[in-house]
Structure 1
């Protein structure tokens, strides 16, 4: 077990590089490196315009979700907080559905304006979902009430999304791929947009990491240490919403990455939030890139939605974690 942040970060970066190489080698026929000896340029074109941006986009989307999960868990002092339990992802999905139905945007478009517009509406939807959860829960003091409020808000926003889909059946195909999670539509514009969002969110999160450390001691203690809780929450929720909204707008609803990545880091390397945030982002990127490779390779030339892979693997890990912790309790 790696118990220090430095070696763990090096391992995650090594896994990222290795998976990126595998990612560009996975095609409709499985693994192939025929682009190395390609004289016609077709294989190289596929590599540079399809496989490489898809692999980099999958890693970046996973990093955004992993970072958002770490922010949410630290900010709300809740290890179960993630982009799906606080109504944020459902809010982002509702924003995307509204954009598809009434503005005519398309997730398959490679235009900057469409990509930026989808990210904008997803960001607004994410903020709305989180604020609705906080209002319904009357703050973050009561963990159970916060989780229940998040579930209620998520159900309501998902129902609203389904109503929009029924009213606009022409968007159902796009929304189906979006709801299942897909990295097949990621191009260079998506990669650049998510990379910019990741850099901004990471800078903001690292700037507030000491406040998150203080919050682990309780709100009263954090306040006595001079932490401006109101400002910290507004800024951190903004970073959380930007990360979640950008990832959801570009790659759809991808489950469990934002919840599992911080847990993996904490289980192997307990550390302060300054290092936890960076490691969680890298772990989220590795998880989603690995899931994307599995989704392309397992039943090639058929391709599974990556959200199904992350749901199976993430859910299995959490069940195993719960079983292990229950088994450790004294009789």
Structure 2
């Protein structure tokens, strides 16, 4: 019952913050107009409203808010899964080097001119992300090594791809390209549209379903590989599958909106504090909280500085660090 009430509450809250995110911007639109613009496009109403306002709501802001919600949910799910698989409270979606690889792929497009346009940028980032994941799988001997070995492989891959990114930028990029790259590396929802939402919806929904299906097996992982094997869990196969799922979700998100840190680290801990460690509860709670958190962060990124949008990664870090500190303080051992 507690989980059901939580999901209902966060669903209502998510609808509210998406409405607010759609209404505010350089040109503010009333919430009533936002509702009419959406219902008009869905064929539920035929109200007379400004065509400009309707286009701004439907074509620009609503898709942005929905992508932000899916990105927050996806990163939070990945964080919860990786913290269980690696038995490490500091694990998060970029621990497998996916973000670093995506950054290298994006830089190759921006600086070296491999392809042109937003589609090529996304494809380059996606290819780089999976190149990094493949390197980690190779270094960690697939799914047969322990969690610490996988983390070390992820660190090595991250350092390699970060070095490649820095080399390309410093030797080939100009000042404007460096600025564009820095903004992308810290995350931005500015360029997303409905095709991005449709693809991300499929990826996150599929990943969510697989993770829920593996929920009870994930509970066994928290006791260690030997205990999980004793309980009949095919450890290597499930670990490889879930690593691939988290890499797919993370790579898709990073290829669209850049690297957004701290969400996958903080939100699972917040969800765990509310609903407990059982993954059949933790995964949907993490998705709901992450979606709301990311939309709110996107709102803040657009309004905190007048006539300017700051990178979303800056907001998530500034909000996430104090929140994470509170969680650590509450979880400290009592003496």
The TM-score with structure 1 as length reference comes to: 0.87
C-alpha deviation, 1:43, in angstroms:
1.2
Of 193, 196, 207 in structure 2, the residue corresponding to residue 190 of structure 1 is 196
**Does the CA contact (< 8 Å) of 2:122 and 2:255 recur in 1?**
no
1:61 aligns with 2:71: yes
- The residue number in structure 2 matching 1:27 is 25
Of 98, 106, 109 in structure 2, the residue corresponding to residue 96 of structure 1 is 106
Q: Check 1:197–1:136 CA distance in 2 against 1; reply closer, same or farther (3 A cut).
A: closer
Higher relative contact order (CA 8 A, sep 6+): 1
Q: Check 1:319–1:67 CA distance in 2 against 1; reply closer, same or farther (3 A cut).
A: same
- The residue number in structure 2 matching 1:329 is 334
Of 211, 216, 238 in structure 2, the residue corresponding to residue 210 of structure 1 is 216
**Does the CA contact (< 8 Å) of 2:85 and 2:147 recur in 1?**
no
1:268 aligns with 2:274: yes
Secondary structure at the counterpart of residue 68 of structure 1? helix
**CA RMSD, aligned part only?**
2.7
* Partner deviation per Cα, 1:253-306 (whole Å, 9 max, x = no partner): 111001111111100110421221122122211111110011112223221111
Question: How many Å separate the matches in 2 of 1:239 and 1:137?
Answer: 13
Question: How many Å separate the matches in 1 of 2:114 and 2:210?
Answer: 31
Equivalent residue runs for 1:38-187 within 5 Å? 39-100=49-110, 101=112, 103-106=114-117, 109=118, 114=120, 117-118=123-124, 120-128=126-134, 130-131=136-137, 134=140, 139-142=145-148, 147=151, 150-169=154-173, 171-187=177-193
C-alpha deviation, 1:231, in angstroms:
1.0
C-alpha deviation, 1:137, in angstroms:
12
Of 228, 242, 246 in structure 1, the residue corresponding to residue 234 of structure 2 is 228
Q: Check 1:115–1:196 CA distance in 2 against 1; reply closer, same or farther (3 A cut).
A: farther
* Partner deviation per Cα, 1:20-52 (whole Å, 9 max, x = no partner): 110111111557448469744111111111110
In the alignment, structure 1 segments of 5+ residues that lack a partner are none
Question: How many Å separate the matches in 1 of 2:136 and 2:15?
Answer: 34
Q: Check 1:119–1:67 CA distance in 2 against 1; reply closer, same or farther (3 A cut).
A: farther
In the alignment, structure 2 segments of 5+ residues that lack a partner are 37-47
- The residue number in structure 1 matching 2:15 is 17
Question: How many Å separate the matches in 1 of 2:139 and 2:116?
Answer: 28
Secondary structure at the counterpart of residue 57 of structure 2? helix
* Partner deviation per Cα, 1:240-264 (whole Å, 9 max, x = no partner): 1001101111111111001111111
Secondary structure at the counterpart of residue 160 of structure 1? helix
Secondary structure at the counterpart of residue 27 of structure 1? coil
Question: How many Å separate the matches in 2 of 1:153 and 1:287?
Answer: 29
Question: How many Å separate the matches in 2 of 1:26 and 1:320?
Answer: 30
Q: Which sits farther off after the overlay, 299-308 or 183-192?
A: 299-308
C-alpha deviation, 1:156, in angstroms:
2.8
